[in-house]
Amino acid sequence: MCMRRIQAELSDWLLDPPEGCCLESFEPLMEWVIIMAGPESGAYGPSLYRDDTFRMSVKFSEGYPLEPPEVLFIPPSPVHVHIYSNGHICLDILSDQSRNGGWSPALTISKVCLSLRSMLASSTEKKRPPGDLEYCLRTRNRSPRETRWEFHDTTV
């Protein structure tokens, strides 16, 4: 199922890419690189990231879309309270550990990108998550999919 589904998502993306995003590469098909422009406007006027451009790495597994893709920012990552400096993102829809919310196979990379952009848009402060340095040392060279996230804050 996974290859056909990724192929289908790719066709849809090329036909109708999410706002502010473009594909830098999709070769091999299981590993995409996405370029994301920071959102123009935020909750209170212009967004903090409007002049920034970020690169994201998306890795699909054989179990996709039943399991979530591995999505992270390629450093330098946006300075955001849910994004670690190594690019790991604390976002419930990227995790299959939470049964409420969490990843759903009905989601697509396109929808994930829109979520991430709105997460950036609603940020009011350029700040790293608490314990950023310690987290980055602990998870060096590891996939964010191995992290046990705790989703305590749903406001940002």
> Which of 11, 41, 124, 143 lies at the binding interface for other proteins (CB under 8 A)?
11
5 binds other proteins (CB under 8 A): yes
Widest CA span of the chain, in angstroms? 43
> Which of 25, 51, 63, 124 lies at the binding interface for other proteins (CB under 8 A)?
63
Q: How far apart are CA 114 and CA 100, in angstroms?
A: 20
Closest separation in Å from C-beta 151 to other proteins: 15
Nearer to other proteins, 16 or 134 (CB): 16
Question: Is the separation of the CB atoms in 112 and 120 below 8 Å?
Answer: no
Active-site residues, by number, are 90
8 binds other proteins (CB under 8 A): yes
29 binds other proteins (CB under 8 A): no
What letter represents residue 142's amino acid? Answer: R
Residues in the chain: 156
Residues 75-134 that bind other proteins (CB under 8 A): 99-100, 102, 104-106, 108
Q: How far apart are CA 13 and CA 30, in angstroms?
A: 15
9 binds other proteins (CB under 8 A): yes
- Interacting residues of 36 by C-beta distance below 8 A, sequence separation 6+: 20, 21, 53, 54, 55, 56, 113, 116, 117
Window of 24-32, 45-53, 64-72, 146-154 that interacts with other proteins by CB under 8 A: 64-72
Question: Is the separation of the CB atoms in 84 and 77 below 8 Å?
Answer: yes
**Residues binding other proteins (CB under 8 A):** 1, 4-5, 8-9, 11-12, 15-16, 63, 65-67, 99-100, 102, 104-106, 108
